[in-house]
Amino acid sequence: MATIWKIDPTHSEVQFKVKHLMITTVTGYFKEFDLEVETEGDDFAKAGKIEFTANVDSISTNNEQRDTHLKSADFFHAEEHATVHFVGTSLEQDGDEGKLHGDLTIKGVTKPIALEVEFGGIVVDPYGQTKAGFTVKGKISRKEFGLTWSAVTEAGQVVVSDDIRILCEIQLVKQG
């Protein structure tokens, strides 16, 4: 019988990091997201379903002007593409480390990606809920997903890098 796990949004973070002017890193995150995982018992290596969705309109970089630009047609085009969507296709696990393969859709473009996964373990919290923890990391090319806006400074420096680093801290709750 399948076990369903759902995200605990109060104990999870979905971040992205991008180089600005190639000298500093700007961190952004999604404030609204969902994740559901279906496993055989508590064995995540045998996950039958891994589905993640983030609400593009919930992007925050702690700068309202930049957030508005990211939601515009120059980047995510939130008006037409309301979500970022990931569907896991397989998980290769070696102890507490692994690679999660799946299809990522941003701005209507779907590409296969691989993410590094570190399994933190399974515990029962003080309220009797069974929880599982993961750190998920990866890197994608924003241009491959149609986020092609670019600018160059007078000195010829790129304003926003192509590489986007993904960093997620995920806590799942086992459903009764």
Q: Given this model, what pLDDT does residue 166 score?
A: 98
Tens digit of each residue's pLDDT (9 = 90 or more) over 46-105? 888 999 999 999 999 999 999 999 999 999 999 999 999 999 999 888 889 999 999 999
Q: Which CATH architecture is the domain 2-174 placed in? A: Beta Barrel (2.40)
Q: Please return the burial class of 147, using the count of CB atoms within 10 Å of its CB with bins 0-12, 13-18 and 19+.
A: buried
Q: Could you state, in order of their start, the residue ranges of all structural domains in the chain? A: 2-174
Please tell me the distance from the alpha carbon of residue 152 to that of residue 97, in angstroms, as a whole number: 39
Q: Given this model, what pLDDT does residue 117 score?
A: 97
pLDDT at 157 over 70: no
Element containing residue 115 per DSSP (H, E): strand 109-124
